[in-house]
Amino acid sequence: MALVPSTAVESPLIAEVDMGGASSDPSSVTVRATVVQASTVFYDTPATLDKAERLIADASAYGSQLVVFPEAFVGGYPRGSNFGVTIGSRSARGREEFRKYHAAAIDVPGPEVDRLAAMAGKYKIFLVMGVIERSGYTLYCTVLFFDPQGQYLGKHRKLMPTALERVIWGFGDGSTIPVYETPIGKIGALICWENRMPLLRTALYGKGIEIYCAPTADAREVWQASMTHIALEGGCFILSANQFCRRKNYPPPPDYVFAGIDDDEPSPDTVVCAGGSVIISPSGTVLAGPNYEGEALISADLDLGEIVRAKFDFDVIGHYSRPEVLSLTVKDHPQNAVSFTSAAKAESM
């Protein structure tokens, strides 16, 4: 069902705010941004893409120039599943569960990426989309970036999966920590708890990030403290998008066993991820959200002048840095398991 505009910023529907105009002075630009809080159609990637397009169309109709989706929206965040893993053993059922999860993931590049690019072009938006990326037989929790011309810009792979995520997702490397310079600001993203890695955040600050996207699966209230801190630390806008889903948004048992921490199967209407999506200014002001009520499009206008005003107080890699005492080296080249000397020789010829 379409989510329609509302005049209340705290509403579970779109917040209605004034739209500013562009200027030759980048700091005078105002950008309308939307974070999507919605559930994946689990194990059904075509249906998830259809849902994504409906949500993008709603946000675009309201004038959004940038739309950010949650972590693993395409492919799904397998909340409550343990894939049959215990220390020292794995189960046949768990291997089959991984096979189905692998089948729901997408190749990058691939037809699903082409479709997402076409959506960005059709609705004239910058699109930041959380996906499960399939690379051979390894899966990655990934964010994809698209521009309003319908071009795929690139990706960020989650550098450090958390806890049992490490069983099902590979580890990203320094070659996919991009920040894109765009007409609406410098855009980048980190995923969920890798936002709690100070050196990784510093890498984004070093690239001048202005619109910091934080797709997540963390609906706890304490997540808001992390987002506010990063906004203040980086002097940047924070756009954090999380799914809102109930048990019934996942396949019913026995097709999907929702073990959870206490191994109790939730009832169909039980909220298993409560959202908390939020938009925060560089001064730490909450512009929209957090929303814990249901699926929602949460929007605000970002006055890029706020970045300059915040940096006057604290510029973490500018006047407040001490490189003669503290410095960071980022190894931003791909880490390959196998390399071939013949290829290196060919490139040098």
Residue 285: give its domain's CATH number: 3.60.110.10
Identify whether 18 is part of a domain.
no
CB 166 within 8 A of CB 281: no
And the tokens for 56?
Answer: 């993008």
- What's phi and psi for 247, nearest 5 deg? -55, -35
Q: At what angle do helices 45-61 and 111-123 cross, to 10 degrees?
A: 10
Please pick, among 10, 16, 71, 210, the residue that the annotation labels catalytic. 71
Torsion of CA 189, 195, 200, 204, to 10 degrees: 40
Identify whether 8 is part of a domain.
no
Q: How many helices (H) and strands (E) does the chain have?
A: 8, 19
Domain of residue 312 covers 28-334
Identify whether 347 is part of a domain.
no
129 three-state secondary structure: strand
Is 6 a residue whose pLDDT tops 70? Answer: no
The question of whether 324 is a catalytic residue gets the answer no
pLDDT value, residue 346 = 59
Is 7 a residue whose pLDDT tops 70? Answer: no
| Share of residues in the chain with pLDDT > 70 (%) | 90
Identify whether 339 is part of a domain.
no
pLDDT tens for each residue of 259-296: 766 667 888 899 999 999 999 999 999 999 999 999 99
Identify whether 187 is part of a domain.
yes
Identify whether 123 is part of a domain.
yes
The single-letter DSSP state of residue 256 is S
pLDDT tens for each residue of 141-179: 999 999 999 999 999 999 999 999 999 999 999 999 999
- What's phi and psi for 194, nearest 5 deg? -70, -15
- Residue tagged 């070659």 (tokens): 175
Gap between the Cα atoms of 122 and 91, Å rounded: 45
| Share of residues in the chain with pLDDT > 90 (%) | 80
Return mean pLDDT, the chain: 90
And the tokens for 24?
Answer: 């030759």
Mean pLDDT, rounded, for 59-73: 97
CB 200 within 8 A of CB 189: no
- Residue tagged 């849902």 (tokens): 51
pLDDT value, residue 21 = 42
CB 241 within 8 A of CB 218: no
Q: What is the DSSP string of 273-305?
A: EE--EEEE-TTS-EEEEEE-SSSEEEEEEEETH
Number of domains the chain contains = 1
Identify whether 177 is part of a domain.
yes
Gap between the Cα atoms of 194 and 84, Å rounded: 25
pLDDT tens for each residue of 221-250: 999 999 999 999 999 999 999 999 999 999
Q: How many CB atoms lie within 10 A of CB 22?
A: 12
pLDDT tens for each residue of 26-41: 778 899 999 999 999 9
Is 13 a residue whose pLDDT tops 80? Answer: no
Identify whether 23 is part of a domain.
no
